[in-house]
């Protein structure tokens, strides 16, 4: 029995190793055939684009744009970073609260406290007692099973 199992295992391993090699694709040959059919030669297109990008000198173009009064995004970024280090957001929040602005922290806490006090199961049962639609029952009727509970 063990010999039979081992021979089956050996045959399976050999098949797994040999069969994919029989179906192997020669991608170089396929590429040559496509090029012979006037297909796009992506290798040459890539080389052309690289040659164009090397001649563009992006730093020179950036400098020319700056000389034309274009927006210097690097300096704007530095200025914004410097401003953000100076602004005290906690102080601004406190000033807004003193001006009567909405205190979102307090509202969030109140809403959390209210949600803990609401018994949603009791409300669902009250709605069902008032002949409200029982969505769980509709699911069971139409699907044959309930997605909840």
pLDDT, average across residues 119-142: 79
125 DSSP 8-state letter = H
pLDDT at 146 over 60: no
Q: What pLDDT, in 10s, does the model give residues 97-129?
A: 888 878 888 888 888 888 777 777 888 888 878
Res 21: pLDDT? 63
CA 11 to chain centre: 45
Query: Cβ(39)–Cβ(33) under 8 Å?
Result: no
Nearest to 136 by CA among 34, 29, 104, 125: 125
| Per-chain mean pLDDT for the chain | 78
Res 55: pLDDT? 65
pLDDT, average across residues 6-32: 75
Q: Look up the pTM and report it.
A: 0.21
Give dist(CA 108, CA 142) in Å, integer.
39
The structure tokens listed for 2 are 């063990």
pLDDT, average across residues 7-19: 76
Q: What pLDDT, in 10s, does the model give residues 42-77?
A: 888 888 888 877 766 777 777 787 788 777 788 888
Res 143: pLDDT? 75
Query: Cβ(149)–Cβ(136) under 8 Å?
Result: yes
Res 144: pLDDT? 67
Query: Cβ(146)–Cβ(136) under 8 Å?
Result: yes
């Amino acid at each position: 029995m063990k010999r039979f199992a081992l021979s089956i295992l050996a045959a399976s391993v050999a098949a797994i190793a040999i069969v994919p090699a029989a179906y192997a694709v020669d991608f170089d040959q396929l590429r040559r055939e496509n090029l012979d059919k006037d297909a796009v030669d992506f290798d040459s297109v890539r080389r052309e684009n690289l040659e164009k990008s090397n001649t563009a000198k992006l730093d020179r173009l950036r400098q020319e744009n700056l000389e034309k009064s274009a927006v210097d995004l690097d300096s704007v970024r530095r200025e914004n970073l410097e401003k953000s280090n100076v602004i005290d957001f906690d102080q601004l929040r406190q000033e807004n609260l003193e001006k009567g602005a909405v205190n979102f922290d307090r509202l969030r806490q109140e809403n959390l406290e209210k949600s803990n006090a609401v018994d949603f199961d009791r409300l669902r049962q009250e709605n069902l007692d008032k002949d409200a639609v029982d969505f769980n029952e509709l699911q069971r009727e139409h699907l044959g099973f309930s997605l909840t509970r």
